Structure 1
Amino acid sequence: MSSSPAPHHVATKKEGIPLGKIAGIPVYLAYSWFIIAGFTIIAYGPVLMHDYRGLGSWAYLVAFGYSVLLAISVLIHELAHALSAKVFKWPTEKIVLNLWGGHTQFESFTASPGKAVIVAMAGPAANFLLAGALAPFVLGRSFEGVWDLLANILMWANLLIGIFNVLPGTPLDGGRLVESAVWKATGSQDKGAIAAGWSGRAIAVALFFWFIVRPFLTGAGLDITFSLITVLVCGFLWMGASGSIHHAQLRSRLYLVSAGGLAEPAVGVPNSATVADVLAIAPAGSPAVVICGPDGRPQGVVDGPAVAAVPYEATTTTPVTAVAHALAAGAYVPEWSKGQELIQYLAQLEGGEYAVVDHNGIVTGLLRQEAVVTAITGKEARRSGRP
């Protein structure tokens, strides 16, 4: 039950069963949703059969109705996110209902603390409104039998979804309150996201202690089904909060990612050159040497050990292509490329080396994947073992 921006290419991924569009927004039912549906049937079917003996085996169908009503409640929640985002012209890519409830995926947009809070709180607000609308009918016993049971479920599901999601921690909607407050105070959305992530971790620990550790210590006993749900929910919260912290930490280091700043010096040679030509410009293996095609586009990188293995008398007759490995198609970037734009482009390429060129298309450097990873994470990247 969250909302997040994502690059447009995510829309091409298989999301599950398409349920159509609502207000122009594609809605998908992820295959993982059937896990929670099956769990609901197994856990509550026997309970309903015992409490409502007249239902017989139909109790399992009613239990399935529980999961459907929960999905409808989540859909209302996510639609509120998407429709409120439309007010700010944030393009919504899709809504996905899944094992953990659901999420609304936005395309790239420019947010602000105030707008982020409004869109986030629209979800819980919709659930509270629906629960409030159902309350007079449920409390007034306007329905009978199974319909009364389902109306109760729908009302309480929306009330609990609303309450749960306003808890002040990521990945819950209430985490946006923390994020936006810190964002407004510091001017840094990343600092806000990190604070909201830590708050989400604290909520996960608090819930686990209150519903698992406390009853165990006091000898009150634990309900297996409820305990399992609690562990799953706390695990979901912890992973979501940790993911938010990790991504915010990476984003906060994006300013360090610059093609020109991270690249090692390199020169370009035509693919008609020989090993002798390489030794003339890089006798000690430095700078790096990039092979360029007739059109000037980088094609490969000369391998130092391979050059050293060529006998001296053969250097003038050995083509440079014999001591090089190919670059991936399009593996060259302008030296002024930086930040998120650079990373998104590199993520689409194969291989771990990219030629860096200036405004005239002349090779000036060689950017290695390890340098980019180190700049983002602050940790040395593992060597892939390739030349």
Structure 2
Amino acid sequence: MNRPTPRTPPRPARQDAAGRTKGWVIGRVSGAPVILTPSWFVAAVVLTVLFAPTVQRLAPRLGSEIYVVSFAFVLLLFASVFLHEVAHALVARARGQHVTELAVTLWGGHTAYSGTSARPLDGFLISVVGPLTNLALALVLWLAFQAQDTFSVPALLLYAGAFSNAFVGFFNLLPGLPLDGGQILESAVWAATGSRTKGTVAAGWVGRAVAVGVVGWALLWPLTLGVRPDLWTVAWAALIGAFLWSGAGQAIAAGRAREAVSGLSVRGLARPAVPVASDASVAAVGRDVARAGGPHVLAVVVDPAGRPVGYVDAAAAAAVPPDVAESTPVTAVAVPVPAQGTVDAGLAGQDMLAALARAGREASVVPVVDGGRVVGALEVTRVVAALRDARRR
């Protein structure tokens, strides 16, 4: 399953301080690290033990080697999942996304990438390629199995690999978030309605139905055959159902939050600002601010070309004694802003948030420009407060 950011379904693996999944980097794909998480070893052990009885039933002549064969199947399964994630990563990069990591986890794996899909087609292509990769692998492995003369250990692995890839491919195509099929449904509803939020919410609710259906299948299908439900099957179905329900719920919340965010804009949140020359004095800046409207106006320091290089700390400027204000340069009370640390006045919603992120994580005030001219200043605390209020509505 691909796990894009900013729409973030649950990520079972823990993250480090940089936001990256914890684990060992074992390679790179599309420039992004491939991370093997500690939880993978738990999954490998559990799946090896669970698959061993099947190996023994299909190959009764094997002794303790059944665990070797079982572990080989687990490696084959995770290799298939890894190729699933590689397919997501390659298509995401081809569609203009920045792939940040591929992780192999307890649940199989995920691909994380930054950026937002500009069109429904982007989300569809990124999502569908993963399951299609598994179905193609299933076909290749099945044909290789059919070519075997005897039901040997290699034939057993080919058969198991074909079956597991077919299962992973078809299961991920179920039309509910956080599965790939849910993101395909999201793209379809988005294309039909013009609203990505409607697509996300619809796919999230279908994802909840899928979660209930997985548990219901484990409980009710055996009863239709006149047998008791298997405890292990029910337990695994409940675990998978809980994961899907949680992911669907987070997707619904993310969709509604995105709708709330879409109503916010730079123009609506920015404070008025007046550009001041970098060689101006504190006193001159004070007069410019007073003429522009008073304390509510921020002063943005610009270089000779008109590019913002900082903003005036009002408290620091007010602390300068009046008798030295004329001789004190404004740079003495200015807070520098990073290069390209501005936002365009016409941005709104997710585009606004992405621009703020690019302007710098440590910035507290970001100059607002329109056609290269300073027209305001955006306080990050004000944006955060507006986001909080919008999500509460």
| Identical residues among aligned pairs (%) | 35
Q: Which residue of 2 aligns with 1:10?
A: none
Q: Which one of the candidate residues 11, 35, 44 is aligned to 1:30? A: 35
Q: Which one of the candidate residues 179, 201, 206 is aligned to 1:199? A: 206
| AA matched with 1:357 | V
How far off is 1:92 after superposition? 8.4
Q: Which residue of 2 aligns with 1:384?
A: none
SS of the residue corresponding to residue 27 of structure 2 reads strand
How far off is 1:47 after superposition? 7.7
Q: Distance in 2 between matches of 1:263 and 1:27?
A: 36
Residues 374/260 of structure 1: CA separation in 2 closer, same or farther (3 Å cut): same
Q: Which residue of 2 aligns with 1:244?
A: 251
Between 89-98 and 188-197, the greater mean CA deviation after superposition: 89-98
Q: Distance in 1 between matches of 2:376 and 2:272?
A: 4
Residues 313/5 of structure 1: CA separation in 2 closer, same or farther (3 Å cut): closer
| AA matched with 1:321 | T
Structural mapping, 1:141-220, within 5 Å: 143-208=150-215, 211=218
How far off is 1:366 after superposition? 0.8
Residues 129/31 of structure 1: CA separation in 2 closer, same or farther (3 Å cut): closer
| AA matched with 1:98 | V
Q: Distance in 2 between matches of 1:282 and 1:245?
A: 45
Residue 356 of structure 1 pairs with residue 368 of structure 2 = yes
Whether contact under 8 Å (2:316, 2:333) holds in the other structure is: yes
Structural mapping, 1:334-345, within 5 Å: 334-338=344-348, 340-345=350-355
Q: Which one of the candidate residues 79, 88, 98 is aligned to 2:104? A: 98
Q: Distance in 1 between matches of 2:73 and 2:271?
A: 60
How far off is 1:186 after superposition? 1.7
Q: Which one of the candidate residues 25, 35, 51 is aligned to 1:16? A: 25
Q: Distance in 2 between matches of 1:206 and 1:62?
A: 32
| AA matched with 1:17 | I
Q: Which residue of 2 aligns with 1:74?
A: 81
Between 281-290 and 103-112, the greater mean CA deviation after superposition: 103-112
Structural mapping, 1:217-366, within 5 Å: 223=231, 229-230=236-237, 232-253=239-260, 255-283=262-290, 284-338=294-348, 340-348=350-358, 349=360, 350-359=362-371, 361=373, 363-366=374-377
Residues 152/181 of structure 1: CA separation in 2 closer, same or farther (3 Å cut): same
Q: Provide structure 1 residue ranges, at least 5 long, that are not aligned to the other structure.
A: 7-12, 382-387
What RMSD, in angstroms, separates the aligned Cα atoms of the two structures?
Answer: 4.5
Residues 82/29 of structure 1: CA separation in 2 closer, same or farther (3 Å cut): closer
Q: TM-score, normalised by structure 1?
A: 0.71
Whether contact under 8 Å (1:46, 1:60) holds in the other structure is: no
Q: Provide structure 2 residue ranges, at least 5 long, that are not aligned to the other structure.
A: 7-19, 223-227
How far off is 1:66 after superposition? 1.7
How far off is 1:31 after superposition? 0.5
SS of the residue corresponding to residue 282 of structure 1 reads helix
Residues 56/82 of structure 1: CA separation in 2 closer, same or farther (3 Å cut): same
Q: Deviations over 1:65-117 (max 9, x none)?
A: 1212212433565577689x69xx7468779462233456788765446x865
SS of the residue corresponding to residue 180 of structure 2 reads coil
Q: Deviations over 1:184-205 (max 9, x none)?
A: 4422233112211222133224
SS of the residue corresponding to residue 30 of structure 1 reads strand
Q: Distance in 1 between matches of 2:140 and 2:304?
A: 71
SS of the residue corresponding to residue 285 of structure 1 reads coil
| AA matched with 1:365 | G
SS of the residue corresponding to residue 301 of structure 1 reads strand
**Matched residues, number:** 361
Q: Deviations over 1:98-146 (max 9, x none)?
A: 2233456788765446x86577555545545655676688799953343
Q: Distance in 1 between matches of 2:86 and 2:385?
A: 39
Residues 90/354 of structure 1: CA separation in 2 closer, same or farther (3 Å cut): closer
| AA matched with 2:365 | E
